[in-house]
Structure 1
Amino acid sequence: MLDLSRLRRTVADLREDERAIEGLPVRLVVSLVVGAACLSVMLNLVNGVGGLAASELDVRPSPEVVETGPQNLTLQVVDAEGDPVSGATVVVDGGTASVDGVATATTGPDGNATVSVDPQLAANQEQGTLTLDVKPPAGEQFVDRRENSHVLVVRE
């Protein structure tokens, strides 16, 4: 049988209870953390899809170490898997070594480009570097966000 007096006391106790929302903020925080973790996992899955992700480019100089004076550098542009990339523009500029202007070239079907440079070092400088940058071919899914290799310049 239903005890009405006990039910009335229970309802009255609930009306006077001010702790009803104490657990709510904790539940919200837990839900937020779980939701953020799920979103992170989903974004990683989408980012890993080959058709949607861009491939990072790198430059492989040959030779990697040069002496001061006029010479040619062969620069191969490759994607993240090491495959050659054609149509990319390679830019060679002075780092801690100096060059007269900026040398540029576009890669061919084999991913290679040849540039002529004349690196120089300061009077008391024994070595320096030339910086290499890549401008990805237009309309392709390539990027160059990370720093590329450098060419080491040593005194003759």
Structure 2
Amino acid sequence: MSVRQRLRTRRTNRKLQLFRSDDRAIEGLPIRLVIALVVGVASLSVMMNMLSGLNGLAVSELDAKPTPEVVQPGHQSVDISVIDSDGKPVSGATVVVKGDSATLEHIQTATTGKNGGATLSLDPELGPNQEDGTLEIDIKPPAGSEFADKRANTQILVVAD
């Protein structure tokens, strides 16, 4: 072996020994990665909350108030008022009434007027040996409004004579 090769081998061995004895990279790198991951996830959650908060600030939940809330089987009219979370009437909302445990021959719809009310002609029926049932009310908010209907609305109770 030449002198040059021996020097190169010594330098390589010395570098390997220094590298093997240096444990800073082994300890520091995983901790830095964990810190970067935690900071990144926290930042992302704050940004997502801000983005979803922009939409959520202006949304008001709608509810339906049927009059009467309890009806008997057979043909009758039911007035339904659509109100926002502050109790104010909402005009231009579409009210949808469909059978739940009581049945309707057809789904009934109506649009609320300026006073937030709509009148629907319903003909609910109960099954054989069924003493009571319910009709489900859904609300489609006016297009382009800040309203939403995500929670369950008041139901209409149908009770046999």
Normalised TM-score (structure 2): 0.76
Q: Distance in 2 between matches of 1:64 and 1:14?
A: 84
Q: Distance in 1 between matches of 2:88 and 2:55?
A: 15
The offset of 1:46, in angstroms, is 4.6
Matched residue, 1:119: 124
Matched residue, 2:115: 110
Matched residue, 1:152: 157
Question: 1:26–1:153: structure 2 CA closer, same or farther, 3 Å change rule?
Answer: farther
Query: Which of residues 130, 136, 158 in structure 2 aligns to 1:131?
Result: 136
Matched residue, 1:16: 20
Normalised TM-score (structure 1): 0.78
Q: How many residues align?
A: 146
Structure 1 gaps of 5+ residues are: 1-10
Matched residue, 1:67: 72
- Rg: which structure is higher? 2
Matched residue, 1:27: 32
For the Cα contact (< 8 Å) 1:46–1:52, is it kept in 2? no
Structure in which a larger fraction of residues adopt helix: 2
Structure 2 gaps of 5+ residues are: 1-14
Question: 1:124–1:35: structure 2 CA closer, same or farther, 3 Å change rule?
Answer: same
Identity value in percent:
55
Question: 1:68–1:36: structure 2 CA closer, same or farther, 3 Å change rule?
Answer: same
DSSP 3-state at the match of 1:31: helix
DSSP 3-state at the match of 2:136: strand
DSSP 3-state at the match of 2:26: coil
CA-atom RMSD, angstroms? 2.5
DSSP 3-state at the match of 1:90: strand
Question: 1:28–1:125: structure 2 CA closer, same or farther, 3 Å change rule?
Answer: same
DSSP 3-state at the match of 1:115: strand
